[in-house]
Amino acid sequence: MALNKKGKIALFAIGWVVLVGIGAMSYKWIFAPKAEEAQRLAEQQAHDEKLANTSSESRYDHVVTWATDWFTGYAGYRSEEFATICANKGIKIKTYDDGADYSNRLQALANGECEMAVFTIDALTKASAEYGDLPGTIAWISDISHGADAMVAHAKTFPDIDAMNNPDTKFVVIPNSPSETLALVVMDHFKLDKLSSDPWVYANDPKDLYEKYRRSKPGEKLVFVMWEPYISKVLENPTYKVLIDSSKFKDYIVDVAVVSRDYLIKNKQVVQDICEAYFTAMYNKQDSLVQLVTEDAKASGEPVTKDQAIKLARGIRFKNLQENYAHFGIRGGHSLQHIEGIIEEIIRLQVKADVITSDPTNGSYNLLYYNNILESLFNNNFHPGVTNEDIRDEEQLVALTDEEWAKLQPVGTLQVPRLQFRRGTSRLNPASERTLTDLKERLTKWPQYYLIVRGNASSRGDVEANKRLAEARAKTAVDWLVSNGVDNNRIKGESSKPNGSTTVAFILVEIPY
C-alpha cells in the first residue's frame, strides 16, 4: 500500500534524525577525540618548548641502576662520596634494595631492569645455575667477610665443632645466603660424618633467625649461623659462644660487583668510570669506615651503637684496588688467591653439597669474571689517592712454647682421608702423599688456626711400641707438610693414649679468647 503524503514526510524526518544521530555519534567518538588529542599535543609541545627554552641540559650522560641490599659491606655503593664522584663523571647512580633476592637480582640484570648489582660469589653461582645462563660477569671484588658471619651456639651443648657431629644437630640458616655457605664450608672441611641427611632449619630473614634463637632452649642441638649485628646481640647472653667465624677462613664469602654483559659491551667506559669512582670513594673513607657504617645503618632504618659499628667495620675487609689487581692476576708478589680459584672452590663446594645440580660454567670458571676493567686502570697507572694502598696478606702465626701449645683450645677435627703407611712402619705410601697434598692446600683456607697432628695407637700388643709408632707416624706427617710449605710455627705432632685406633688425626686449635 503506497504511503500517503504525511507518511512520506514522517519517514523523511526519521531518516534525518538517524543521520543526525550518526553524525553526532561520529563527532563524539571519532572527530572530537582527534581534535582534543591534536589540541593536547599542541599544548604539550608548547609546554615542552617552554621548559626546554628555560632549562639547562642534565649533568648526567648515563643513569646506572644498582641492585643491592642493606648488608654493611655494600655501604660504599650507597655512600654520598661514591654518588658525588660518579656525578662528576656524568653518571647518576640509582640503588635499590631487593631484599637479597639473588634469583630476581640476576633476572633483573638479564632483562635490563638494572645494569649492575652486588652479589656474593656463592649467590651468583647458585643464581646462575638456576637461571641456566651467565647474564652477569664479575668486574671487581668489593669485600670479604672477616668475622661478620659466624656460627653461634650454647657453649655447654657445643664446646667445639666436633660436638656438632651428631644426627640431632641442626643448622639454623637463611637459605641462599652467606650463612648457608658458612655452614657448607664447615660441613665440608670438618669431620661431621654423623650429621643427618637434612640438618637444616630455615629462617626467612635475619630477624626471623634471631627470633628462632630467642625461642630456643639451651639443651636443643641448634647452631645459629648469622651475621652482625645479630651475632653481638646473641653474645649478650654469656652462655652462648662463637664456634667459628669468617675471620678464621678466607675466600669463601666474597662480595663482588657484577655488571650486565649486554651493558658492559655497550658501555665499557662507563663501567670503568664507576670502578674508578668506587675505589676512590673507599680510599677516601679508609680512615673513617666506622663513620661510613654508622651513617649507612642509620639510613637503613636500623641504627647501631658505636660499639656495634666498630664490630661491623672490623667484620668486613673492604678490598682495595691493589688487592683487586692481585686477585685478578694483574700483579704478583703476594699470597692472595686468584679469583678463578675462588670461583672454582665455591662451585666445587656447592656441587658436592647438592646446593646446585651442576656447574654453571661447565668447568670454564673464567667465564664468570672480566678482568679488562681492572687491567685498563692498571695500564693507565690509575691511583685512587696520593699513595698506593698496601696488599694485606694474612698475618703469620707466631711460634709457641710447649706450655702455650698445651693451652690451645680445640676447634675441630679436619675431614681428612685415612693416611696409609707401610705395614708396621711410619713410611708414607703414594696415596698418603696425595692426601697430604690436598691437606696442605686446605690449610691455606684456615690461616688463623694452629694444627695438631695426633697419631693414635692401637691398644693391642705392645702398648708402648704402638705409642712410639703412632708418634713416629704423626712426626712423618708433620715433616712432610713442613717440607712442602706449611709454616713450622703452626704445626705440632703428638701421640694419644692407646684408643684402639691407628689413624692420624688433624685437629685445628686456637689460642683461647
What confidence category does residue 338 fall into, taking pLDDT thresholds of 50, 70 and 90? Answer: very high
**Cα separation, 426 vs 466, whole angstroms:** 11
| Side-by-side strand order, sheet with 136-145 | 91-97, 62-68, 116-120, 254-260, 136-145, 316-318
Classify the phi-psi angles of 500: left when phi > 0, otherwise alpha if psi is within -120 to 50, otherwise beta: left
Cα–Cα–Cα angle for 144, 150, 152, rounded to 5 degrees: 175
pLDDT at res. 158:
96
pLDDT at res. 17:
67
What confidence category does residue 43 fall into, taking pLDDT thresholds of 50, 70 and 90? Answer: confident
pLDDT at res. 500:
58
Q: How many residues are given for the chain?
A: 513
pLDDT at res. 11:
64
Give the single-character DSSP code of 31.
I
| H-run or E-run covering 207 | helix 206-215
pLDDT at res. 425:
76
Give the single-character DSSP code of 132.
T
Handedness of CA 378, 380, 384, 388 (dihedral sign): positive
**Cα separation, 459 vs 437, whole angstroms:** 30
**Cα separation, 183 vs 225, whole angstroms:** 7
Backbone angles phi, psi at 111, to 5 degrees: -100, 5
pLDDT at res. 79:
95
| Side-by-side strand order, sheet with 240-245 | 200-202, 170-173, 222-227, 149-154, 240-245
Q: Which amino acid is at 300?
A: S
Q: Which amino acid is at 107?
A: Q
Dihedral, 404, 410, 412, 418 alpha carbons, nearest 10: 60
pLDDT score of 119 more than 70: yes
User: What are the start and end residues of each CATH 3.40.190.10 domain in the chain?
Assistant: 62-145+252-379, 149-245
**Least confidently predicted of 6-20, 275-289, 437-451:** 6-20
Q: Is the peptide bond before 384 cis (omega within 30 degrees of 0)?
A: no
Handedness of CA 192, 193, 194, 198 (dihedral sign): positive
- How many of the other CB atoms lie within 10 Å of CB of 483? 9
What confidence category does residue 502 fall into, taking pLDDT thresholds of 50, 70 and 90? Answer: low
* DSSP characters over 263-281: HHHH-HHHHHHHHHHHHHH
CATH topology of domain 149-245: D-Maltodextrin-Binding Protein; domain 2 (3.40.190)
What confidence category does residue 51 fall into, taking pLDDT thresholds of 50, 70 and 90? Answer: confident
Residue-averaged pLDDT of the chain: 89
What confidence category does residue 469 fall into, taking pLDDT thresholds of 50, 70 and 90? Answer: confident
Q: Which CATH architecture has domain 62-145+252-379?
A: 3-Layer(aba) Sandwich (3.40)
pLDDT at res. 141:
98
Alpha helices in 320-411 (DSSP H): 321-327, 339-352, 372-379, 402-406
For helices 306-314 and 289-299, the axis angle rounded to 10 degrees is 110
pLDDT at res. 446:
92
pLDDT at res. 140:
98
CA atoms within 13 Å, Cβ hemisphere of 147: 13
Each residue of 302-336: pLDDT tens digit?
Answer: 888 888 888 888 889 999 999 999 999 999 888 89
Q: How far is CA 351 from CA 184, 246, 458, in A?
A: 11, 21, 37
Give the single-character DSSP code of 398.
P
**Cα separation, 186 vs 440, whole angstroms:** 17
Q: Which CATH architecture has domain 402-510?
A: 2-Layer Sandwich (3.30)
Each residue of 199-219: pLDDT tens digit?
Answer: 999 999 888 999 999 999 988
Each residue of 124-143: pLDDT tens digit?
Answer: 999 999 999 999 999 999 99
pLDDT score of 117 more than 70: yes
**Cα separation, 142 vs 278, whole angstroms:** 9
pLDDT score of 74 more than 80: yes
By the 8 A CB rule, do 66 and 96 touch?
Answer: yes
pLDDT score of 23 more than 70: no
Measured in Å, how far apart are the chain's first and last C-alpha atoms?
Answer: 117
- In this structure, what C-alpha cell is assigned to residue 323? 688487592
Q: How far is CA 74 from CA 179, 230, 297, 314, in A?
A: 17, 18, 11, 14
User: What are the start and end residues of each CATH 3.30.1330.60 domain in the chain?
Assistant: 402-510
pLDDT at res. 10:
64
By the 8 A CB rule, do 331 and 378 touch?
Answer: yes
**Cα separation, 272 vs 352, whole angstroms:** 36
Cα–Cα–Cα angle for 55, 57, 62, rounded to 5 degrees: 145
Residue by residue, what is the 3-state secondary structure of 133-184? CCCEEEEEEEEEECCCEEEEEECCCCCCHHHHCCCCCEEEECCCCHHHHHHH
Instruction: Provide mean pLDDT across the span 398-411.
Output: 93
**Cα separation, 228 vs 152, whole angstroms:** 11
Instruction: Provide mean pLDDT across the span 231-247.
Output: 93
